[in-house]
Chains A and B, each alone.
Chain A
Amino acid sequence: MVASRYGINEEEKAIWVFLEQTDGVLEGVSLELLSKGRQLADEVDWSLTGLLIGHQIKDLSDEAYTYGADEVWLADHPLLKLFTVDAYAHVAYQALTEAHPSVFLCGATPNGRDLAGRLAVRLRTGLNADCTDLRLDAGTGVLTSEVTGFGGGVLALLESPGHRPQISTVRPGVFPPGEADLNRVGSLIEMQVKLEEEMIQTQIIERVVGEGVDLTQAPVLLCGGRGMDGKFSILEELAELMDGEVGATRPPVDDGHIERDRQVGQTGIVCRPKVALAFGISGAFHFVVGIQDADMVVAINTDPDAPIFEYADYCVVGDAFQIVPALIKAYKAAREAAHV
Chain B
Amino acid sequence: MSDLHIVVCVKVVPKPEEIRVDQETNRLEREGARSEINPPDMNALEMALGLKDLHGGRVSILSMAPPFAEPYLRIGLAMGADDAYLLSDRRFGGADTLATTYTLFKGIVKLGHPDLIICGEESSDGATGQVPPGLAEWLDLPQITLATELEIDLDRKVARGRRELMGGYHVLEVPTPAVISVRTASNEPRFMDYEIKAHAFDEARVTVWNCEDLEAEEEFIGTPGSPTIVSGLAQAATRERKREFLTGSPEEIAARLVEVIRASL
Binding site for B on A (CB under 8 A): 1-2, 4, 85-86, 89, 110, 113-118, 120-122, 124-130, 144, 148-163, 169, 201-213, 219-220, 242, 253-254, 256, 259-261, 266-267, 274-275, 284, 286, 292-293, 295-298, 309-318, 322-323, 325-327, 329-331, 334
Within the complex, the shortest CB–CB distance from B103 to chain A, in Å, comes to: 12
List 8 tightest A-B contacts by C-beta distance, closest first.
Answer: A210-B167, A117-B133, A210-B168, A129-B128, A126-B227, A212-B166, A326-B254, A121-B137
A161 and B229 CA atoms in complex are apart in Å by: 8
Any A CB within 8 A of the CB of B185: yes
26 residue pairs of the A-B complex, CB under 8 angstroms, read A117-B129, A117-B134, A120-B97, A120-B130, A121-B98, A122-B137, A127-B98, A127-B130, A129-B128, A151-B20, A152-B21, A153-B21, A155-B236, A204-B171, A205-B160, A205-B173, A209-B166, A212-B168, A220-B265, A254-B184, A298-B261, A313-B242, A322-B250, A323-B257, A326-B251, A331-B258
User: Whose C-beta in chain B lies nearest to the C-beta of A323?
Assistant: B250
Q: Which of A113, A118, A298 contacts B129 (CB 8 A)?
A: A113
Measured CA separation A221–B16 after assembly (Å): 26
B-side contacts of A2, CB under 8 Å? 98-99, 219-220, 224-227
Do A205 and B244 contact each other (CB < 8 Å), given the known contacts A130-B127, A323-B250?
A: no
Select from chain B the residue with minimum beta-carbon distance to A160. B227
Closest B residue to A132 by beta carbon equals B236
Which of B59-67, B108-116, B141-149 is near enough to bind chain A? B141-149
Q: Are A151 and B233 in contact (CB under 8 A)?
A: no
Q: Judging by beta carbons under 8 Å apart, are A157 and B164 in contact?
A: no
| Minimal beta-carbon separation of A321 from chain B (angstroms) | 10
**Chain A residues touching B, majority SS:** mixed
A120→B225 CA distance, assembly (Å) = 13
8 Å CB interface, B227-265 against A: 227-236, 238-239, 241-246, 250-251, 253-258, 260-261, 264-265
With A120-B98, A121-B98, A314-B260 in contact, is A110–B143 under 8 Å at CB? no
- Of all chain B residues, the one with the shortest Cβ separation from A325 is B250
**Complex contact A154–B26 (CB within 8 A):** yes
Which residues of chain B have C-beta atoms less than 8 A from A297's C-beta? 241
B234 close to A330 (CB less than 8 A) = no
Please tell me the size bucket of the interface on B. Answer: 35 or more
Contact B171 A150 (CB under 8 A): no
Choice from B122, B160, B233, B244 contacting A315 with Cβ under 8 Å:
B244
Cross-interface CB contact of A208 among B16, B126, B169, B264, cutoff 8 Å: B169
Q: Give B1-34 as 1s and 0s: 1 = Cβ < 8 Å from A's Cβ atoms.
A: 0000000000000001101110000101000000
